[in-house]
A and B are shown apart, each in its own frame.
Chain A
Amino acid sequence: GQQLNQSPQSMFIQEGEDVSMNCTSSSIFNTWLWYKQDPGEGPVLLIALYKAGELTSNGRLTAQFGITRKDSFLNISASIPSDVGIYFCAGLTLNAGNNRKLIWGLGTSLAVNP
C-alpha cells in the first residue's frame, strides 16, 4: 500500500541531545500527524498539523507542516530516556468514497543513551 518516506530509519543519541526526523510524500496531504509507539503498545498521537506552514509545539516536541503540503518534520529537544520508541508520521487523505484514511511512514526508531 501507499506509504510515506520517513527518515532517518533509526537514531541513537545521548540524553540531552536534540533530535530531528522528517517525512516526505509525492502526494499532497491536508493533515499531517505524528505518533509515538512504545514496545507492545499502540501508537499515541503527539501532534496534529492542519495548515501548510503551520508550526506546532507540544512540550519538547515541535512539528511543522511543509509549505508544499508534501512534507513534515518533528523535532524533539533535550531528549530524555522516556523518548525511546518508534515515531511515525501519518498523512490524512480522502479516498474515492470520501472517507478519510491514514497513510503511514515506516517509522523512526529512537534510542537514547542516559
Chain B
Amino acid sequence: DTGVSQDPRHKITKRGQNVTFRCDPISEHNRLYWYRQTLGQGPEFLTYFQNEAQLEKSRLLSDRFSAERPKGSFSTLEIQRTEQGDSAMYLCASSLPSGTSGRVGVYNEQFFGPGTRLTVL
C-alpha cells in the first residue's frame, strides 16, 4: 500500500498525559499537512511542512502541540498535557507542491491518511 499511513489508528489516554502520532506520507510527496476533525465538522488546518520546514501553523495549534518532520519524510504530532477538548480525529495529508502538474493554478491533490482518533478521558 503506497498511500498515506498513520499510526496509531486509535488512542485513548487520560487527561494530562502526552501523546504522539506518526504520519508516513506518500514517498514522492514533499508537502505534509496535519488537520484536526471533530464530529460534525470538516477538517481544520493545523500545520504544514514542505520537506523538513514547517511553513505555517494555525492559531489552533496551542503551545501544547508540536509537530516535526526532521528528515522531510515522516512526521510526528505531539500533544502535551492532553485535555478533554483535544479529543478528535487527527488527519494527515500529503501532496506534491503547487505547480508540479505544470498547469498554473491546478490543485495538487492532498491525499489523506485514515486518521488517528484520540479520546481523552
* A104 lies within 8 A of B107 (CB): no
User: How far, in whole Å, are A104 and B41 apart by their CA atoms in the complex?
Assistant: 9
* A106 lies within 8 A of B114 (CB): no
Which of B4, B9, B42: most chain A CB closer than 10 A?
Answer: B42
Say yes or no for A88: interface residue by CB 8 A criterion.
yes
User: How far, in whole Å, are A105 and B37 apart by their CA atoms in the complex?
Assistant: 12
User: How far, in whole Å, are A9 and B58 apart by their CA atoms in the complex?
Assistant: 26
What's the least CB distance linking A104 to chain B, in Å?
3
* B115 lies within 8 A of A42 (CB): yes
* B98 lies within 8 A of A107 (CB): no
Residue in contact with B45 in the complex, picked from A4, A88, A102, CB distance below 8 Å: A102
Interface residues in B98-116 by Cβ distance below 8 A to A read: 98, 105-107, 109-110, 112-115
User: How far, in whole Å, are A42 and B93 apart by their CA atoms in the complex?
Assistant: 9
Residue in contact with B107 in the complex, picked from A3, A48, A95, A97, CB distance below 8 Å: A48
Residues of A within 8 A of B107 (CB): 31, 33, 48, 50, 92, 100
Residue in contact with B112 in the complex, picked from A4, A30, A42, CB distance below 8 Å: A42
Say yes or no for B40: interface residue by CB 8 A criterion.
yes
Say yes or no for A114: interface residue by CB 8 A criterion.
no
Chain B, interface size category, equals 20 to 34
Residues of A within 8 A of B26 (CB): none
* B58 lies within 8 A of A1 (CB): yes
* A41 lies within 8 A of B42 (CB): no
- Do A43 and B43 contact each other (CB < 8 Å), given the known contacts A1-B60, A95-B56, A97-B56? yes
User: How far, in whole Å, are A47 and B115 apart by their CA atoms in the complex?
Assistant: 22
Over the window 61-78 of chain B, the binary record of Cβ atoms lying under 8 Å from chain A Cβ atoms (1 yes, 0 no) is 000000000000000000
What's the least CB distance linking A107 to chain B, in Å?
6
* B113 lies within 8 A of A42 (CB): yes
* A107 lies within 8 A of B42 (CB): yes
Residues of B within 8 A of A40 (CB): 9, 114-115, 117
Over the window 22-48 of chain B, the binary record of Cβ atoms lying under 8 Å from chain A Cβ atoms (1 yes, 0 no) is 000000000000000000111111001
Over the window 88-99 of chain B, the binary record of Cβ atoms lying under 8 Å from chain A Cβ atoms (1 yes, 0 no) is 000111000010
